[in-house]
Structure 1
Amino acid sequence: MSEEANAAGWDAIERAMSKIYGDQEPKHYGTLIPYMLGGRDPLDGISAYKAERPYPHWHFVTFGFSELYDKESDDPERSGYGFELTFRLARGEAEEEPPAWAMNLLQNMGRYVFKSGNVFRNGDYLDANGPICLGADTKLTALAFVRDPELPALDTPNGQVEFLQMVGITGCELEAMQTWNTLGMLNVCEEHMPNYITDLSRDSFMRVPAVAEAVQRGMERDGSSTGFLYVDQLGWEPAKRRLLGKTPAALRLGAKQAGIVGKLLAGRILKGKSLSMTGPDVRVVFEPGEKPGFEQGQNEVRIKLDEASATELSRKLQPKEGVIELSDFKGMVVQIVKTY
């Protein structure tokens, strides 16, 4: 097989970028040691193009989430993980080289996907637990994922590839996405963030009255679209019999997640929707029910909440250590533990 045929997936991505940037030669950064041979970087390469509209920025695209060479997966419809990431970053007019931190961030996204098997989809978000550019004085501490506005999905010899753009967001914007929905929030912000260009120096759009009002209306109208959360500090202790009685079952939750879970419950249970949380050892599903109660199985707990118990738990879940007891909920408490 010829070298050209072997690189069919790679060539398809470059052709898609050339439709936007013509003959521009991008800044390309390849991987010295392939990931399969023990290298640290799972992506084969990253290219950065100089974009001028709507204002100067770098337009990054990855090579490696999809199948760049021979077809290896069993899914004929999808190439590899089915996507490549893009990232638009505001650029100074005199800036000639793309910043290394942005490419490190994209490689970190590759490490996350390759190690966990979790793929990104249109409308996803990810808490970075700190500045997306380490050491920078920026309020952007999380990421959202949306279809790149200039790159439609590709049909390649190895299957379809979607271009998902990574967008830097603030903590309060992340909270708005969690309690409402990502695409609704990004749509409201697009006037202030054309083409979803990430600018490390910007303030939160939740400070713009029109944005905050639109988010509040959306939350009240739609509830939360977040139906699934991965929570690293999630645990379950079954009830235990003691000499002097019985210790109630305990749902253990990290303080960092407690506040947002409380808000999500209001936007899910009260709208007739469930909320699923997965931790290292257990899956916990909150679901609406006529009567509060819980059922525990192997590695899974299902907790039913009526309107009153959902409202009470939503109010009491705060980001601080403590034990929560619910008025009409017998045999179970919620233990909030310190997040490190």
Structure 2
Amino acid sequence: MDGAPGVGVALDAVYGQTEPDFRWVTEHRWQDGGPDPLDEVLVYTRTEPVPHWHYVAVGLTSTAVGPPDARHVLDDPEDGRGWTFELTARLARADGPEHEHPPVFMVNLLQNLTRYVVESFTPFGPGHTMDLYGPIQQDSVTPVGQVLFMEDPELGRGPRGDTRDAGADAIDFLQVVGLTADEAAAKKTWTDTGFAALYEQYHPLLVTRLDRDSILTDPRALAAVEAGRAADGSSLGGLVVEQLTVTRAGRLARLRRRAPLTVTLGASVVDTLRVALPLRIGAGDDFSLESEHARVTFSPEAHGDPHEHEPGHWVIGLTLRQAEAVATQLLPRAGSYRSAELPAVDFLVERTTVRDHDDTPLRTIG
């Protein structure tokens, strides 16, 4: 088996000497100049607690690509070691002879997510979400079109007791969980673990099912989300975005009654900002937006004027009332917005063009 030694240790702890039922192997490996970063994808046929396929991707831990701080904490940049984690997925398995083989689309999804990691140098972590901007299985009618990354309930996170070294071979296994749009939005307004525990009540082991409605169609689930976020707040402390700039108005602009500060952001992040900002500020927590060249931190400060904390990092202090006013005022539509409760800041919303990994435009938001 390829990958770091910890992959085999973790699989042995769950499956013993049982071999995977299916295996996809990459013929032209990434390290040899091939297009696919995964070395292989292993699939185990499961019947308990519900019938499903357990996909285990192998390759990130042997793909030495990216800056050292995004790879293994004990790596030497020159030693050829890979990343700290591997991806997994669980897909509900139907009965019948036509369902004897695991669907290939999940293998392709794992390959594409891995490619995103190694090409962007951006690792996933527990609680991260991603909008796929379409059904998780192309050409299907499933409402599942977003993914959540959580610890694999069985393979989990390293180290694992006395059976493995706590250092170089410690590997995290992140499970890709398919969500509907409203489920993904609900997760962002609550804590990662709180939402995952609720989801698992409906889908044991965080299994992805395509032929289903949102769990939030059950009033009990909706009530649990509302009660949970009221008690726990939101664990979403910020967003990494592509569109974000901050400009300070000159003297002439201020005389023309422009706000001292203009924050320009993409329409695609507005809905999340509107929900998360009041929750975070109300709980006494910061919320940040960060791009390659700028960072804006909204901080729970009464009477705090916007200021540049350090080059490129702006801090905007606001009360819960101001946060709620901004959330009410902003819309995911191109235009300029200013709340009377926060006159020191103009928000300029620009259209967002969603592109695939080949940079082909898919849709425009705003």
1:180 CA drift (Å): 0.9
Could you say which residue in structure 1 is the equivalent of 2:288?
Answer: 276
Return closer, same or farther for 1:241/1:39 CA change in 2, 3 Å cut-off. farther
1:327 CA drift (Å): 1.7
Could you say which residue in structure 2 is the equivalent of 1:54?
Answer: 49
Which stretch of structure 1 is more off in the superposition, 150-159 or 110-119?
150-159
Return closer, same or farther for 1:9/1:307 CA change in 2, 3 Å cut-off. closer
Which stretch of structure 1 is more off in the superposition, 163-172 or 108-117?
108-117
1:46 CA drift (Å): 0.7
Could you say which residue in structure 1 is the equivalent of 2:113?
Answer: 109
Say whether 1:90 aligns with 2:92.
yes
1:233–1:252 CA contact under 8 A, matched in 2: yes
1:282 CA drift (Å): 1.3
Cα distance between partner residues in 1 of 2:295 and 2:285: 17
Cα distance between partner residues in 1 of 2:7 and 2:192: 30
1:292–1:309 CA contact under 8 A, matched in 2: no
Secondary structure of 1:98's partner?
A: coil
Query: Match for 1:168 among 175, 178, 182?
Result: 178
Secondary structure of 1:140's partner?
A: coil
Unmatched tracts of structure 1, length 5 or more: none
Cα distance between partner residues in 1 of 2:254 and 2:345: 17
Q: Show CA shifts across 1:117-175 (max 9, x none).
A: 32222232222222222222111111112222222435358320122211101110111
Secondary structure of 2:172's partner?
A: strand
Cα distance between partner residues in 2 of 1:337 and 1:5: 45
AA aligned to 1:302 is V
Say whether 1:235 aligns with 2:245.
yes
Query: Match for 1:12 among 9, 13, 30?
Result: 9
Say whether 1:261 aligns with 2:273.
yes
2:298–2:318 CA contact under 8 A, matched in 1: yes
AA aligned to 2:185 is E
Cα distance between partner residues in 2 of 1:188 and 1:236: 38
Query: Match for 1:204 among 214, 219, 228?
Result: 214
Return closer, same or farther for 1:313/1:49 CA change in 2, 3 Å cut-off. same
Query: Match for 1:76 among 62, 74, 92?
Result: 74
Q: Show CA shifts across 1:194-242 (max 9, x none).
A: 1111011111011111100000011112221100211222222321344
State the percentage of identical aligned residues: 31
2:72–2:84 CA contact under 8 A, matched in 1: no
Return closer, same or farther for 1:243/1:113 CA change in 2, 3 Å cut-off. closer
Could you say which residue in structure 2 is the equivalent of 1:23?
Answer: 18
1:7 CA drift (Å): 6.9
Q: Pairwise mapping of residues 299-338 of structure 1 onto structure 2 (< 5 A)?
A: 299-338=312-351
Secondary structure of 1:151's partner?
A: coil
Cα distance between partner residues in 1 of 2:270 and 2:89: 31
Cα distance between partner residues in 2 of 1:299 and 1:10: 41
Q: Pairwise mapping of residues 100-179 of structure 1 onto structure 2 (< 5 A)?
A: 100-152=104-156, 153=158, 154=160, 155=164, 158-179=168-189
1:5 CA drift (Å): 11
Q: Show CA shifts across 1:265-302 (max 9, x none).
A: 11101111001111232111111112142113422221
Could you say which residue in structure 2 is the equivalent of 1:285?
Answer: 297
Cα distance between partner residues in 1 of 2:2 and 2:348: 57
Unmatched tracts of structure 2, length 5 or more: 353-363
AA aligned to 2:121 is G
Secondary structure of 2:41's partner?
A: strand
TM-score (norm 1): 0.88
1:65 CA drift (Å): 2.0
2:43–2:55 CA contact under 8 A, matched in 1: yes
TM-score (norm 2): 0.83
1:7–1:68 CA contact under 8 A, matched in 2: no
Q: Show CA shifts across 1:288-319 (max 9, x none).
A: 11214211342222111123211211221222
